A and B are shown apart, each in its own frame.
Chain A
């Protein structure tokens, strides 16, 4: 029950995060197409704005991002043979099965001729779309076959709002039989869709996450294990040598590890190991050898913190009464350390490892930048620069989600390790 409630509580947090992120980014001056190659005519820009709905009100854009406001689109599986010029009697799509009388068809053609006096340009074709659900189509809504976009909705007859005028830009792609249906696009956050990227327009944000998250995750996990594998032994050593020289030296080493920023240590290691001695590759992400330097650099910063937390935890635990009791009973020192003390002593490390892991998984911007690793960090920074705001919000949400999930897992493991903690 407790965990179910925690999971439900994530939803409002994510909503607020998406709202703040979205509004903040949309408040920035300029738009994503500023950095396009010039000259972009105002018309092209307007079309782009319309395509990505940047011309709508902020509220509507946000609701669309959530998936509450969606778009209907037309799915066609067949089109009458291509002809240019005026619309004709067989240029009708029906989305429901009510048959049209010839008189009605004539009337519609007449109405359309009054509105659209210019013929459709060569190679394209205008057709009618009739049906109750065609009213849900907005101007510019896409028309597509199973696998390709073949046109868009040009407008609607004022006198008969259930008649939409469709411009087919690629009429030859479909043939013969004519069938059409209006469908609601599954999009938005509620459908797990993070939207398109405004910069890399052939990719959706989901694509990029799918491609880059594994890289960032691998690097993050490697660094996490590196930090644990170096931090925990050092912390234990310090706790067991408390007040002696070993403790002070260890404390200094730990402090040094988080006072040396990655932007200092990484270039030095590159200069020494990669440029001078040539035993490791300089950058990029190809073979396991490429992972060594980034892992060390990223993990080093955290291993000092882990060592200090481990020292705290272990020395507090070793002073606890149940340890004194165990000693009095004659339990050996190693059994005390491993069987009794370690379980509790690791708790501070555990609670720190939640935010640490989330940080490592998504937040290694600097290290990814130094080593030119194609992870999420690069896309995150670039997306902010490019005002590719859907990408930024998507990555922010991903980060927030990871943080929440990992914290939940940490709390769950807490109650496993320390039976006194009950999650209620």
Chain B
């Protein structure tokens, strides 16, 4: 109270919406902003990286940036040098290029998986919370049971059950090359399909508390349909929380993908993700020669991306939900 009365004469009273206030709080959180900027940069580099190896652009760039992903050379296991900044791998491929190609897959997995988990989690939680009663009870018991099942079997079962069918369908409908993407597609969907549980719980709790509020009652009295109430009145109030948990789901999924790829269940060669690059490096561990660069560079990329995402997520949570994390 005090601060508003003292500041009122100095500056004209500006009314800020809760979302605007959250944005103000977010901008003051330096690690979160840095994390966000770093992520945007990473995404941009990852998008334009493949362009570098096209002949027209390769001419004006230093050649260290223009190796193609598949180019196999005789320069096996070369240490990081002026030629290859991050060194080369077992087939003499440039590690820097491989890492940025790997970044594409790791980031897409994170984004698509989070999107799938968003769709399932929000609809599941919103319906359970809004309908309430026995429906809510059954739906949330189901979530409890899913928590008790190790999610890795879902990913594997989904993949192995439907992968061949999808590959066949893809090569028939589009071109034979697209069949290679079937396994990746299932990795995306599968990872999303197992990561929606927390989102559903949080959304359900929020919807449950908003359902009984006056503005919802009012619009119900005015004859608004259930879909309209959910979509226009309840969901806009929980966007903040949804965004926060979405940001925290992305690193979880990236991490999960790297584990799966490490175990040989995820991305298959010649495609690479950070996880599979690390797996390749681990296979080269031997007491005679140490190829540390194979491990350190993909690992560092993975760690810093996870750090950036987590700082961003924390910052967003502090901004949108100031009570939640003091």
Contacts and interface: CB of A to CB of B under 8 A. Distances in A.
Interface string A302-332: 0000000000100110000000000000000
Contacts of B287: 275
Q: Looking at B258, B282, B326, which has the most chain A CB atoms within 10 Å of its CB?
A: B282
A270 interface: yes
Contacts of B310: 255, 258-259
A381 B263 contact: yes
Tell which of B145, B258, B281, B286 has the most Cβ of chain A within 10 Å: B145
B148 A399 contact: yes
Nearest to A10: B148
Contacts of A264: 278, 295, 299, 302-303
A261 B302 contact: yes
Interface stretch (B60-68, B93-101, B151-159): B151-159
B21 to A, nearest CB: 21
B326 A384 contact: no
A20 B145 contact: yes
User: Most B CB atoms within 10 A — which of A259, A275, A315?
Assistant: A259
Given A28-B160, A29-B161, A21 B149 contact: yes
Contacts of B325: 312
Interface residues of B, number: 42
A209 B255 CA distance: 28
Contacts of B251: 259
B150 A396 contact: yes
B157 A27 contact: yes
Interface string B252-278: 000100110011000000000001001
Contacts of A399: 148-150
A260 B299 CA distance: 8
Interface in A396-420: 396, 399-400, 403-404
A120 to B, nearest CB: 43
Nearest to A248: B31
B278 A267 contact: yes
Interface string A6-44: 000000010011001100110111100000000000000
Given A13-B144, A29-B160, A366-B263, A263 B149 contact: no
Contacts of A256: 303, 307
A276 interface: yes
B296 interface: yes
Contacts of A263: 258-259, 262, 275, 278-279, 282
Contacts of A260: 303
A25 B157 contact: yes
B30 to A, nearest CB: 10
A366 B161 CA distance: 24
Contact of A261 (B147, B154, B156, B259): B259
A interface, by DSSP: helix, strand, loop or mixed? helix
A256 B156 CA distance: 30
Interface in B268-326: 275, 278-279, 281-282, 285-287, 290, 292, 295-296, 299, 302-303, 306-307, 310-311, 314, 325-326
Nearest to A14: B148
A190 interface: no
B90 to A, nearest CB: 16
Contact of B290 (A255, A271, A396): A271
Contact of B157 (A16, A28, A258, A315): A28
Nearest to A270: B285
Nearest to A255: B310
Contacts of A13: 144-145, 148
B263 A365 contact: yes
B148 A400 contact: yes
Contacts of B286: 275
A281 to B, nearest CB: 12
Interface string A95-112: 000000000000000000
B172 interface: no
Contacts of B306: 259, 261
Interface in B118-150: 144-145, 147-150
B164 interface: yes
Contacts of B161: 27-29
B294 to A, nearest CB: 10
Interface in B152-199: 152-154, 156-157, 160-161, 164
B259 A16 contact: no
Contact of B285 (A267, A355, A363, A365): A267
Nearest to A399: B150
Contacts of A366: 259, 262-263
A259 B285 contact: no
Given A271-B285, A392-B153, A29 B148 contact: no
Contact of B307 (A27, A259, A381): A259
A370 interface: yes
A16 B145 contact: yes
A351 interface: no
Contacts of B314: 255
B154 A255 contact: no
B259 A17 contact: no
A77 interface: no
A276 B275 contact: no
A260 B251 CA distance: 11
Between B148, B278, B281, B302, the greatest number of chain A beta carbons within 10 A of the residue's beta carbon is seen for: B148
B232 to A, nearest CB: 35
A192 to B, nearest CB: 19
A21 B150 CA distance: 10
A337 to B, nearest CB: 19
Nearest to A384: B156
B119 to A, nearest CB: 21
A369 interface: yes
A249 interface: no
B152 A365 contact: yes
Interface of B: 144-145, 147-150, 152-154, 156-157, 160-161, 164, 251, 255, 258-259, 262-263, 275, 278-279, 281-282, 285-287, 290, 292, 295-296, 299, 302-303, 306-307, 310-311, 314, 325-326
19 contacts: A13-B145, A16-B145, A20-B149, A259-B303, A263-B258, A263-B259, A263-B282, A264-B303, A267-B285, A268-B299, A271-B292, A275-B290, A315-B326, A355-B147, A365-B263, A366-B259, A381-B263, A384-B156, A400-B149
Interface of A: 13, 16-17, 20-21, 24-25, 27-30, 255-256, 258-261, 263-264, 267-268, 270-271, 275-276, 312, 315-316, 355, 362-363, 365-366, 369-370, 380-381, 384, 392, 396, 399-400, 403-404
Given A24-B157, A263-B275, A392-B153, 7 more contacts: A29-B161, A259-B251, A261-B303, A263-B279, A271-B292, A275-B286, A399-B149
Closest 5 CB pairs of A and B: A264-B299, A400-B148, A259-B306, A259-B307, A263-B262
